[in-house]
Amino acid sequence: MDPIANIGQQFAAHNYKLTPQREAIVKVLLDNEEEHLSVEDVYMRVKNSYPHLGLATVYRTLELLCELHIVEKMNFGDGVARYDLRGTDHAHMHHHLICNVCGRLEEIKDDWLLDLERRLEREYGFNVTDHRLDFKGTFNTCKRHGCKGDRKDKAVS
């Protein structure tokens, strides 16, 4: 199914409308899925199409997308809230490797915690509905070559 149509259905299921402005914001997130955009990043990319769209509208839309579990709001320790689309192909949010030296971020798409979730349910009667795990450390390339801080977001399967 088309991602925009799927998101439109999620909006409708909660009695919200996917307005053209909201759709433009969603498209920016879809077009930049490998990046973890801040409110300002989204605003700068969407204002070309909607020059009268305000920063507050972008912020409110991103918060609504979080409320509807379409995006995940995250902070990687730099004090900036970033937004990441939740994949429809996974029940949980993906995980991240965050380099303390250069700030590079890599995504881990595989869900390595399914066995732990089953154990939590079996041993504690606790049903995990979601989880997110961020690993902070240093990539070997930063240790060896002294990274210059070139932040790049990548996905790891």
Banded pLDDT at 154 (limits 50, 70, 90): very low
Strand partners, 148: none
Give the CA angle between residues 25, 26, 32 to the nearest 5°.
95
Q: Is domain 95-156 classified as CATH 3.30.1490.190?
A: yes
Could you say which architecture CATH assigns to the domain 3-85?
Orthogonal Bundle (1.10)
Domain ranges of the chain: 3-85, 95-156
Q: What is the mean pLDDT of residues 91-115?
A: 74
What percent of the chain is predicted at pLDDT more than 90? 32
Most confident of 23-27, 33-37, 113-117: 23-27
Q: What is the mean pLDDT of residues 28-48?
A: 89
Q: What is the mean pLDDT of residues 102-128?
A: 83
> What is the pTM assigned to this prediction?
0.65
Identical fold for domains 3-85 and 95-156, yes or no, is: no
Backbone angles phi, psi at 10, to 5 degrees: -65, -40
For residue 98, give the nearest of 149, 147, 142, 137 by alpha carbon.
137
Has residue 110 got a pLDDT over 80?
A: no
Residue pair 39/46 in contact (Cβ under 8 Å)? The answer is no
Q: What is the mean pLDDT of residues 66-77?
A: 83
Q: How many angstroms separate the CA atoms of 92 and 102, rounded?
A: 27
pLDDT at position 155 is: 45
